[in-house]
Structure 1
Amino acid sequence: MSDRKRKPILVIGLGRFGAAVALTLERMGHDVLGVDVDARLVQEFAPQLTKTVEADCTEATTLQRLGATDFDAAVVAIGTDIEASVLTVLALSDLGLNNIWAKATTQSHARILERTGAGHVVFPEQRMGERVAHLLNERLLDFISFGNEFAIARLEAPEAILGLPLVTSRCREKYGVTVVGVKREGQDFLHAIPDTIIFPKDELVVSGKIADIERFSSI
């Protein structure tokens, strides 16, 4: 049996966040059922998702008719209607679905979602705001944080390490960051090794504490 049949995902709410999740999952090879109360959104994404349905998922009976218990996971991407968001998570939890992801807009919303059965709560607007703030540093080209301290970033190679192999520049000892890989113009991504020499215009993928990455990018 293919992965596509093994990992069906239910996405409830086809706004910007929910649609992005659903379309990405579909591209990754999952069967995706997209559900929304807005008929316009259901029709818009019908050609791009495995199946779309217009329905209100705040009731367990509706979710039963949709076969919610047959899905490996559910994403509740309802953001503006907090009551509908919470009731949908509660209904999924009452049906015994354990792998529930839910979008939250505030910390109090998140706490309620967690208490009603959401195992994973995300703040997409907050995370994007933090990412944009870090990317305002002109040398940072991409940035993903893990918790409050650790991150992986893509950045322009700082002048201080140009022309040197990594074993000589000693990025980890001197700057607290690990160079994971190098992207050179016209070449494939290179996994960094001690003998890797850094040239002008190289883009580096580095990991480390956020403060250390920011300092390293500006040296």
Structure 2
Amino acid sequence: MAEADSVAVIGLGRFGRAVALELMASGTEVLGIDGREDVVQDLNGQLTQVVRADATKEESLKQLAVHEFDRVVIAVTGDIKVSILCASLVLQLGNPVIWAKATDEQHGRILEQLGVHHVVYPESDMGRRVAHLVRGAAKDYLEIDAGYALVKAAVPAELHGVTLGESEVRRRHGVTVAAWKGGNGSWHYAERETVLRTGDTVLVVGPTKRVEAFAQLR
């Protein structure tokens, strides 16, 4: 899938606003749509274009040429019916790839049944991420897929001063060290010849239980 040059974000609450501003920071053209005048005014000048409009009206979406955007993010919160109606209308326009925020599994299933291309669950995803961080010693945690994760962790003592090839991390712990960072330095790809030291940080990928166990090592 090609990188998106233009994105329409419908619903500019905390989630939609964060998505829109991050897209702008990455150089993407962003149209923001919300029904609240105060929200629109607050973001005026921060997005390529931000308008007050009713996204449950087909005519409004057509006038704003939403169908001409590469992607549409439906970030409507608080009213599932509005989210579903908005998704249905954007799908009827035919062109954009749609990302939609779901508040729960039932909402997500309906969006998927409509044909929404990507459904995200920011609250539950963040909840699971925080749970793993609270539970373990990982500095950060990212679930890549069910049962598979990427963890940022301190380098355990058993890896200090030896090459990754000699340490046999994959055989002994069932994980792969993908990258490392020394002290306050920058990130580097991990190679067989990489030697890790006290104070270094690593990115480790593998089955969730195994990467969490690795993060617990001292």
Distance 2:168 2:139 in 1: 22
> Within 5 Å, which residues of 2 pair with 1:1-219?
7-137=5-135, 139-219=137-217
Q: 1:184 to 1:137 in 2, by over 3 A?
A: farther
Distance 1:80 1:147 in 2: 27
- Name the SS for the 1:29 alignment partner: coil
Deviating more after overlay: 17-26 vs 180-189: 180-189
Distance 1:55 1:93 in 2: 18
Deviating more after overlay: 77-86 vs 133-142: 133-142
1:97 Cα offset (Å): 3.0
- Name the SS for the 2:139 alignment partner: strand
Q: 1:33 to 1:21 in 2, by over 3 A?
A: same
Q: Is the 8 A contact 1:10 1:71 kept in 2?
A: yes
Deviating more after overlay: 189-198 vs 63-72: 189-198
Q: How many pairs align?
A: 216
Give the aligned CA root-mean-square deviation in angstroms.
1.6
TM-score, length-scaled by structure 2: 0.94
Q: Percent identity between the aligned chains? A: 38
1:8 Cα offset (Å): 1.0
Q: Is the 8 A contact 1:157 1:200 kept in 2?
A: yes
Runs of 4+ in 1 over 2 A off after TM superposition: none
Q: Which runs of 5+ in 2 are unaligned?
A: none
TM-score, length-scaled by structure 1: 0.94
Distance 2:82 2:185 in 1: 49
Distance 2:135 2:161 in 1: 23
**Cα deviations across residues 86-133 of structure 1 (Å, max 9, x unaligned)?**
000000011113411100011111111112231110000011001111
Q: Is the 8 A contact 2:151 2:212 kept in 1?
A: no
